[in-house]
Amino acid sequence: MATDRRRINGPAGGTSAPVYLKSLTKEAEAQTERPTRTRPPNVLRKMFLKTGVTPSASGSAYLELEASKALSSPQSGLASHSTSGLKLTCTVHGPRPLPRSAPFSPHIILSTHVKYGPFATRKRRGYLRDASERDLGVHLETALRGVIIGDRWPKSGVEVIITILEGEEDRWCGDDRVTEGLSSGDWGMMSVLSGCITVASAAIADAGIDCVDVVSGGVAAVVRSSQGKLGATSLVLDPVPSEHKEVLAAAIVAYLPGRDEITDLWVKGDIGHENRTNGSGATYEELADNAVQAALGSHRVLVAALKETADMKVARS
């Protein structure tokens, strides 16, 4: 692995300056509360989507989801302990001819690249892609490959590049001290992939690439309350991992509403044998169906953003 010896890298984890003023210390202690989900289980977070943010690219889009807030109001002079939101930017380059050395292809060659910014998460990311980022790229390519009409661009290639400016955290920052050294489950990747599918679909439409339909991503999860292993489970749409004590399973889908098709499905976790046998908990089929409902909600925002961009282009012409 190549490294730059002249670069002074900061610490991988988050750091905080020492606080000696008693009033500020009390305010900081009052803010260390786990964010609580105030939305109903079937309600999505507010989403902002805009296309045409990068003029030099063939198509581009920016997506942002609101961040959850703690119960106590943030005090002045201190950063809030609320969970981070989701901020993604996508650029599409192409279709453009393949190099002469490339073999002949009767359809378009799709390549995806997903990368976290070094500052995107609480733990600092490296400058080279890791395994999780490559997995996100593979799932994104699978979701988009069934949407683009590739036969219309032979001997051509298109690149979809997504930069994660702010990613979902896998757990609440207060759980890092309790479960230090344990695996967090990487539940934040599910919401990130859902946003990547939606923002990539908007950027591809902005680039004018023919598709069979507009694909959108949706995620649903089975979560458990903070009462330990005996707590009741519930099925929620658009989950935020830091708002829940434990996430048992999650599913993310790339859905085509016009064709009623799923181009990518990723289920992670274990609902539990006792929940499947006694019928008290959700099944994997219900989990996937609720993920489709979440994708329909994202699709409405996606269509509205594309219509707004089209109206602006017509007004300028």
pLDDT in tens, 43-61: 999 999 999 999 999 999 9
pLDDT band at 89 (very low <50, low <70, confident <90, very high): very high
Q: How far apart are CA 94 and CA 110, in angstroms?
A: 10
Q: How far apart are CA 49 and CA 305, in angstroms?
A: 6
**Residues near 32 by beta carbon (within 8 Å), at least 6 away in sequence:** 81, 174
Instruction: Please spell the DSSP secondary structure of 51-102, one letter per residue.
Output: E---TTSSEEEEEEEPPP--SSPPPTTS---PPP-EEEEEEEEEEEEPPTTS
* Predicted pLDDT of residue 168: 84
Instruction: Give the residue carrying structure tokens 């490296």.
Output: 126
Q: How far apart are CA 216 and CA 94, in angstroms?
A: 21
How many residues are present in the chain?
A: 317
Q: What is the DSSP secondary structure assignment for residue 180, as one 8-state letter?
A: T
Tell me what the mean pLDDT of segment 280-306 comes to.
91
* Listed range (20-34, 99-113, 202-216, 230-244) with the worst mean pLDDT: 20-34
State yes or no: pLDDT of 78 exceeds 50: no
Phi and psi at 232, nearest 5°, equal -75, 145
State yes or no: pLDDT of 84 exceeds 90: no
pLDDT band at 226 (very low <50, low <70, confident <90, very high): low
Q: How far apart are CA 317 and CA 312, in angstroms?
A: 9
* All structural domains of the chain: 46-69+84-316 (3.30.230.70)
Which carries the bigger pLDDT value, residue 188 or residue 24? 188
What are the structure tokens assigned to 23, written together? 């009033």
Task: Name the strands in the sheet holding 59-65, side by side, starting at the edge strand that comes first in the sequence.
Answer: 47-51, 59-65, 86-97, 156-166, 109-116
State yes or no: pLDDT of 228 exceeds 80: no
Instruction: Give the residue carrying structure tokens 């509403």.
Output: 257
Tell me what the mean pLDDT of segment 231-249 comes to.
84
* Listed range (5-14, 155-164, 173-182) with the worst mean pLDDT: 173-182
